[in-house]
Structure 1
Amino acid sequence: MKNLMKKLGGIAIAISVISCSQDNGNKSVGAQSIATIAKATPEMDSLVVALDLTNLTSTFETQGDYTVFAPTNDAFSSFLSGLGEPSLAQLEEDYPGYLANILKYHVLTTRVLSTSLTNNQEITTLQGQNFKVMIEDNTDPSTYYFYNNILTLTNPDSSSSYFAATVLARDVNCSNGTLNPIDSVMLPVTE
């Protein structure tokens, strides 16, 4: 639990420092793109590599209005370990297009704030499949000061834990959408 709290704190601090700029003493949130904030956040190095490998980086550097649920480095590490792949580059080489499909499953084509999500809501991703939002009360006093509820994203067509992720930080405002770090790589259902 202590390591999780350190990571949450580190992610929050890194993102807030990068996403805020000083203008006459006032903080201006959202001056940087999703890609720029991901590149400047150490816990998102693997996401940056994945975006580069799939030629999606430019999508998140330019104008748009996206919501990105961004897996952390630990999430990508667990994902690769579960597949028996040594790296994201090897995964892309072994299964061309699979990584891009997975990344697109983490993206919404509009800016959606966590406060507008409802329990059991299904949301369509850029990849085309839906995921479901689960909202539970936060009963852990050691994390309650972050959020009073827990947001979990699941695939409505599977009960496997490989299809679920918990949102670690919410609604990081970027110039082209919002960024929400998550603790797992979510997998779309394959036919």
Structure 2
Amino acid sequence: MYGKKKLTAAASLVALSLSLAMAACGGSDTMTAPQARQSETGMPMMSPSMGMPSPGMSMGPGGTFGAACAALPTDPAMAGSLEQMGQQPLASAAAGNPQLSTLVAAITKAGLADTLNSAPELTVFAPSNDAFSQVPKADLDRVMADPELLKKVLTYHVVTGNLAPDQLDGSHKTVEGQDLKISGSGTDFKVNDTATITCGNIKTKNGTVYILDGVLMPPA
């Protein structure tokens, strides 16, 4: 319905795929992750599970990258900080992130919070509040009012397993069943040639979050 427009939208993983498939039957259809260790110079050291940065890649605390990461709370005791998100499962971590409140509302409405929280490993491409604000209100209201369509759209933003930055470039099958195409390297990535990763490699207890500036629409 949206054509090439971005919808303005935040987890081993057979369990998740099966649970979503069962929930969508009859229709198509947001921890303790490794923290960055400090070297003797005080700079963060990447743990193997975070993935190695690409050449020339500027990594922030915990291996994050992207301008929007500056909006995350810096007080480690605050909800939505890297430290707090790292100790929580995906949906709970997203609930504390100031950029993902609209996505969290959609996840709750679709009944996916428990599924995202209990999955072993997921990568979530999470549309920010600004991304959702770009979707025409009538279109967003229609999706939010249709549980099956909402679930289809949200699970199109979820990939099984933890994708490190150096694994992003390429095609990835989503929990919804269709593929996402990601292109780029370093700190510059586009998803489906429409959305940009604005804050990436955020670790949660059971997954990784990449915040997007656009909502992705699964192909018809």
TM-score (normalizing by structure 2)? 0.62
Contact 1:71 1:185 in 2 (8 A): yes
Structure 1 stretches lacking a partner, 5+ long: 22-28, 137-147, 155-160
The counterpart of 2:124, out of the listed 45, 68, 90, is 68
The counterpart of 2:204, out of the listed 157, 174, 180, is 174
User: Is 1:84 aligned to 2:138, yes or no?
Assistant: yes
Q: Write out per-residue CA displacement over residues 151-183 of structure 1, whole angstroms, 9 at most, x where no aligned residue.
A: 0010xxxxxx7xx21111111111111011100
Relative distance call for 1:17 and 1:101 in structure 2 (3 A) is: closer
- CA distance in 2 between counterparts of 1:174 and 1:151 reads 21
Cross-structure match for 2:168: 117
Say how many residue pairs are matched.
153
Using CA pairs under 8 Å that are at least 6 residues apart, name the structure with larger relative contact order, 1 or 2.
2
Could you say what secondary structure the match of 1:108 adopts? strand
Letter of the aligned partner of 2:212 in structure 1? I
Cross-structure match for 1:18: 81
- CA distance in 1 between counterparts of 2:140 and 2:190 reads 27
- CA distance in 2 between counterparts of 1:177 and 1:133 reads 18
- CA distance in 2 between counterparts of 1:177 and 1:122 reads 19
Cross-structure match for 1:9: 70
Letter of the aligned partner of 1:84 in structure 2? A
CA root-mean-square deviation: 2.6
Relative distance call for 1:48 and 1:32 in structure 2 (3 A) is: same
Relative distance call for 1:78 and 1:116 in structure 2 (3 A) is: same
TM-score (normalizing by structure 1)? 0.70
Cross-structure match for 1:32: 88
How far the C-alpha of 1:13 sits from its partner, in A, is 4.4
- CA distance in 2 between counterparts of 1:91 and 1:17 reads 27
Cross-structure match for 2:97: 41
How far the C-alpha of 1:60 sits from its partner, in A, is 1.9
| Higher fraction of helix | 1
Percent sequence identity over matched residues?
26
Relative distance call for 1:66 and 1:97 in structure 2 (3 A) is: same
Letter of the aligned partner of 2:205 in structure 1? S
1:139-150 alignment, distance < 5 Å: 148-150=186-188
Could you say what secondary structure the match of 2:100 adopts? helix
How far the C-alpha of 1:115 sits from its partner, in A, is 1.7
Letter of the aligned partner of 1:71 in structure 2? P
The counterpart of 2:178, out of the listed 116, 122, 129, is 129
Structure 2 stretches lacking a partner, 5+ long: 1-65
- CA distance in 2 between counterparts of 1:35 and 1:96 reads 18
